[in-house]
Amino acid sequence: MTFFINSVYFGMVLTFVAYEIGLFCKKKIRLAIVNPVVIASLIVGAVLVLGKIDYETYSESVQYITYFLTPATVCLAIPLYRQIHLLKKYPLAIMGGVFSGVLTAMVSIYFIALIFGLTHEQYITLLPKSITTAIGMGISEKMGGIVTLTVVAISVTGITGTLSAEFMLKLFRIKNPVAKGLAIGTCSHALGTTKAMEMGEVEGAMSSLAIVLTGILTVIGVSIFANFIG
């Protein structure tokens, strides 16, 4: 067991196997709550807890997977390129929608910090929760947040958005594919985008665009909102 845990491939094997199990469950049980990422996260977490394995050990052995986060995010530009005419057609609506989403995320974290009396470090840690991990980790580290907890916050946000996307769209009767994609991408970044791509190419393209714009606006927003709590 010690040899296996200390192996450079331990985390990679565990992650891939857990995700494959998640995909298998998704195919067999076609419900929104049965999400491969959620299932894989629960499996990995259970193995680490039951095996008394340090997170640092797991993190080091999955560094090669983590390395591909950035290029994988960049690849989301492909569906955007295919639907570039929509960006030219609805520039104000797209920018306004993403801006309102980013502002809502920032304001909500600010009030949460006030209500629960969070420290400046904890506050900064949560501010980048609605952007993709590749960008959020950099912001958190640069601003003095706790990077590990930022990743957790981003993951929880993405998973929650993925699971609730269809329900929320039906609840508020949002039928326009452009609006659907922007809402999902702005709120739940790359994880949500996978759900948007399942809905359609337009939804996926707009969600990809939202990831980029949300990342840029969040970088600016964090630098401003970071000063509100000392």
Q: Are residues 120 and 60 in the same domain?
A: no
Last residue of a domain, one of 45, 67, 89: 67
Q: Which residues of 69-80 are buried (b: 16+ CB within 10 A; e: fewer)?
A: eeeebeebeebb
Q: Which domain holds residue 125?
A: 69-230
Please give the span between the terminal C-alpha atoms of the chain, in angstroms, as a whole number. Answer: 46
The one-digit pLDDT tens for each residue of the chain (230 residues) are: 676 667 778 888 999 999 999 999 988 887 777 888 889 989 999 998 998 888 888 888 888 887 787 787 777 677 667 778 877 888 898 999 999 999 999 999 999 999 999 999 999 999 999 998 888 988 999 999 999 899 889 989 998 998 899 899 999 999 999 999 999 999 998 888 888 988 998 898 889 889 888 988 999 999 999 999 87
Q: Are residues 61 and 90 in the same domain?
A: no
The tally of domains found in the chain comes to: 2
Q: How far is CA 201 from the centre of its chain?
A: 19
- pTM equals 0.81
Among residues 193, 197, 67, which one has the least CA distance to residue 137? 67
Question: Would you state the pLDDT for residue 123?
Answer: 96
Q: Are residues 132 and 209 in the same domain?
A: yes
98 contacts 215 by C-beta, under 8 angstroms: no
